[in-house]
A and B are shown apart, each in its own frame.
Chain A
Amino acid sequence: MSCIHYKFKSSLDYNSVTFDGLHLSLTDLKKAISHQRRLKPGEFDLEITNAQTGDVYKKGDELIAKNTSVIVSRVPVTRTTASSTQKSWEAFKQECAKVVRVSVVTCGPT
Chain B
Amino acid sequence: MASKRKTESQAPAEESDILQIKPLGAGQEVGRSCHLLEFKGKKILLDCGIHPGMSGMASLPYLDMIDPEEIDLMLVSHFHLDHSGGLPYFLQKTPFKGRCFMTHATKAIYRWLLSDYVKVSNIASDDQLYTDGDIEKSMEKIETINFHQEVNASGVRFWCYSAGHVLGAAMFMIEIAGVKILYTGDYSRQEDRHLMCAEMPSVKPDVVIIESTYGTHIHENREKREHRFTSLVHDIVNRGGRCLIPAFALGRAQELLLILDEYWSNHPELHDIPIYYASQLAKKCMSVYQTYINAMNDKIRRQITMSNPFVFKHIINLKNMEQFDDIGPSVVLASPGMMQSGLSRELFEGWCTDKRNGCIIAGYCVEGTLAKHVLSEPDEIVSLGGQKLPLKCSVDYISFSAHADYKQTSEFLRELKPAHVVLVHGEMNEMARLKAALMREYENDPDYKMEVHNPRNTVAIELHFRGEKIAKVVGELAADPPKQNNKVSGILVKRNFNYHIVSPKDLQSYTDLAMSTVSQKMSVVFNGTASLLAYYLNQLAGDIEYLSSEPASSRSSFSNLVIQVFGSIKTIQLICIIACHNHIHVCFSSIHINNSYFIIILIIIMNMSGKIVIIIITTTIIIIIIITNGYLSINISSHTNRGEKDKNCHWQYKIVEIVESGVAKVNHI
Contacts and interface: CB of A to CB of B under 8 A. Distances in A.
A binds B: yes
B64 A8 contact: yes
Interface in B58-72: 58, 60, 62-66, 68
Nearest to B54: A42
B456 interface: yes
A12 B95 contact: yes
A104 to B, nearest CB: 42
Scoring B55, B57, B93 by chain A CB atoms within 10 A of each residue's CB, the highest score goes to: B57
B8 interface: no
Contacts of B123: 38
Nearest to A74: B64
A40 to B, nearest CB: 7
A37 B57 contact: yes
Q: Which of A8, A37, A76 has the most CB of B within 10 A?
A: A76
B58 A75 contact: no
Contacts of A10: 63-64, 66, 68, 94
Interface in A8-51: 8-12, 37-40, 42, 44
B127 A38 contact: yes
Contacts of A76: 62, 456-458
A72 interface: yes
Contacts of A72: 64
Interface residues of B, number: 21
Given A37-B57, A38-B55, A42-B54, A73 B65 contact: yes
Contacts of A8: 57, 64
A39 B58 CA distance: 6
Interface in B21-74: 54-58, 60, 62-66, 68
A38 B457 contact: no
Interface string A67-96: 000001111100000000000000000000
A12 B94 contact: yes
Interface in B436-461: 456-458
A42 to B, nearest CB: 6
Given A37-B127, A38-B123, A75 B62 contact: yes
B64 A38 contact: no
A75 B56 contact: no
Interface in B103-124: 123-124
A72 B93 CA distance: 15
A44 B94 contact: no
Interface in B454-473: 456-458
B56 A39 contact: yes
A11 B65 CA distance: 12
Given A11-B93, A37-B127, A38-B127, A75 B54 contact: no
Contacts of B68: 10
A30 to B, nearest CB: 13
A38 B62 contact: no
Contacts of A42: 54, 58
Interface in B558-605: none
Contact of A74 (B62, B93, B127): B62
Contacts of B93: 11-12
Contact of A40 (B58, B66, B456): B58
B137 to A, nearest CB: 14
B458 A75 contact: yes
Given A11-B93, A76-B456, A39 B57 contact: yes
Q: Which of B58, B62, B66, B124: most chain A CB closer than 10 A?
A: B58
Nearest to B94: A10
A44 B24 CA distance: 12
Nearest to A9: B64
Contacts of A75: 62, 64-65, 458
A39 B63 CA distance: 15
A38 B56 contact: yes
A21 B55 CA distance: 32
B226 to A, nearest CB: 38
A40 B653 CA distance: 85
A79 to B, nearest CB: 9
A97 to B, nearest CB: 31
A8 B94 CA distance: 10
A37 B56 contact: yes
A37 B63 CA distance: 16
A70 B456 CA distance: 27
B513 to A, nearest CB: 40
B618 to A, nearest CB: 59
Contacts of B94: 10-12
Contacts of A9: 63-64
A46 to B, nearest CB: 9
B30 to A, nearest CB: 14
A54 to B, nearest CB: 13
Nearest to A71: B64
A105 B93 CA distance: 66
A17 to B, nearest CB: 14
Contacts of A44: 58, 62
Contacts of A12: 93-95
Interface string B126-161: 010000000000000000000000000000000000
Interface string A1-13: 0000000111110
A1 to B, nearest CB: 19
Contacts of B63: 9-10, 74
Contacts of B124: 38
Nearest to A42: B58
Nearest to B95: A12
B22 to A, nearest CB: 12
Nearest to B368: A42
B95 A74 contact: no
Nearest to A8: B64
Contacts of B62: 44, 74-76
A93 to B, nearest CB: 26
A42 B62 CA distance: 13
A13 to B, nearest CB: 8
29 contacts: A8-B57, A9-B63, A9-B64, A10-B64, A10-B68, A11-B94, A12-B93, A12-B95, A37-B56, A37-B57, A38-B55, A38-B57, A38-B124, A38-B127, A39-B56, A39-B58, A40-B54, A40-B58, A42-B54, A42-B58, A44-B62, A72-B64, A73-B65, A74-B63, A74-B64, A75-B62, A75-B64, A76-B456, A76-B458
Given A8-B57, A72-B64, A76-B62, 8 more contacts: A8-B64, A12-B94, A38-B56, A39-B56, A39-B58, A74-B62, A74-B63, A75-B62
Interface of B: 54-58, 60, 62-66, 68, 93-95, 123-124, 127, 456-458
A-B complex: 5 closest residue pairs judged by Cβ atoms:
A73-B64, A10-B63, A9-B64, A38-B56, A10-B94
